[in-house]
Amino acid sequence: MTRTILGIIGGSGIYDLPGLSHAEWQEVESPWGEPSDAVRVGMIDDLQVVFLPRHGRGHRYAPSDINYRANIDVMKRMGVTDLVSVSAVGSLKEELSPGTFVLVDQFIDRTFAREKSFFGKGCVAHVSLAHPVSPLLVEAIAAAARAQDIPHKQGGTYLAMEGPQFSMLAESHLYRQWGCDVIGMTNMPEAKLAREAEICYAGVAMVTDYDSWHEDHGAVDVATIVKTLHANRDKAQGLLLQLCKALPREHSPCPIGSDRALDFAIITAPEARDPALLARLDAVAGRVLNAS
């Protein structure tokens, strides 16, 4: 069995993780460029935790400016087996009111200005994303939410938009017609890259507002979002602490194969692979590349 190392990517309003013992900020270099920030590494009980603020401390990076590849590569280099992504979202359904946490299990990717894969010319790979989140990790998060009495919905579709502007009214109505539950700017391509890196991934979408579709709420404004962010932050920290205490210390094989996603994904013949790209893939795909 593999020892569990929990990675946490904190979104808007979550720039640190209280409760870690023996904690320190560590700079981790990545061949994919600069990650959002250093990682904060520490222990909760006997579980190693690696925390990364997605936007950087002080919220320095807009969603389109985040180096998602470097962030996921750093998590892989730190040995992360299970990754929880926490993010602020808008609600596309009446019953998902501000303060509700949605444990998403599907995504629709409408982003267009981001690098979405570690692979490409010189080493082509196609991973499965039919089920983009790890069910065992989602179950553990749901149990933690119940223990903390946090209003939540298990399952839901996250519409990832490019941003940084909030959605127009027509867009908001369209996404509701598609059956989406929440709308955000950061879980894509994060979830795709985590799958390529063979890290079990799950998203906690914290509702801060109703999107622009809601006639009683009108245009989304930052002041309202920030107020709800503070309340959500406290709940999220309780949720994560509960999860850390309860998460199994041995990583069980993912039932949907998240942790073996590259077994049959790489198409390029060994003799045709670009050595420079392979060098950058040492952490993400080293398990399969070193065996071929």
Catalytic residues: 209, 211
Please give the Cα distance from 150 to 198 (Å, whole number).
29
- Is 54 within any annotated ligand binding site? yes
Residue from 110, 112, 108 nearest 179 by CA: 108
Q: Give the torsion through C-alpha atoms of 249, 259, 106, 160, to 10 deg.
A: 100
Query: What's the CA gap between 58 and 10, in Å, rounded?
Result: 12
Handedness of CA 84, 86, 91, 95 (dihedral sign): positive
Contact 87, 186 (CB under 8 A): yes
The answer to whether 12 is annotated as binding is: yes
Cβ-contact 49, 245 below 8 angstroms: no
CA 95/CA 143 separation, integer angstroms: 21
Query: Per the structure block, which two tokens stand in for 172?
Result: 């908001």
How far is 133 from 154, CA to CA, in rounded Å? 12
| 206 in a known ligand binding site | no
Distance CA 262, CA 221 (A): 42
Dist CA 219 CA 246 (whole Å): 40
15 is in an annotated binding site: no
**Length of the chain (residues):** 292
Neighbours of 90 (CB within 10 A): 28
CA distances from 235 to 16, 202, 230, 254 (A): 14, 17, 9, 27
- Token pair, residue 141, equals 């998060």
Q: Which residues are annotated as a binding site?
A: 12, 54-55, 87-88, 185-186, 209-211
Q: Which residues are annotated as a binding site for substrate?
A: 185, 209-211
